[in-house]
Amino acid sequence: MVSFCGRLEMNFPLSLSDITLWLAVMAIILLITSELISSTEHSGNIVIEKTRLRIVALALGTGFMITVIMRIFQPF
């Protein structure tokens, strides 16, 4: 915590690198999961909407690309 003019301000604990890494890993995991689910037969009681899973994975991949672009244009 940083004290500024008598107020306590909290620093954000994650850097842009941490967020980029998290987005990339989650997108890869979700894309692999959606591909594995689509290639198998219906298995038991598991109900997962494949299209929604794929959309979320693509959204996370897009977020990853946006953070990469932000890092490219961020001043050194």
- CA dist 33 and 29 (Å) reads 6
Cα distances (angstroms) measured from residue 61 to each of 4, 6, 24, 38, 41: 37, 41, 6, 19, 27
The pLDDT value recorded for residue 45 is: 64
Judged against a pLDDT cut of 70, whether residue 37 lies above it is answered with yes
The pLDDT value recorded for residue 1 is: 52
* Residues ≥6 apart with Cβ < 8 Å to 74: 16
The tens digit of pLDDT for each residue in 50-70 reads 788 888 888 998 999 998 888
Q: Name the residue ranges covered by the structural domains of the chain.
A: 23-36+47-76
Judged against a pLDDT cut of 60, whether residue 31 lies above it is answered with yes
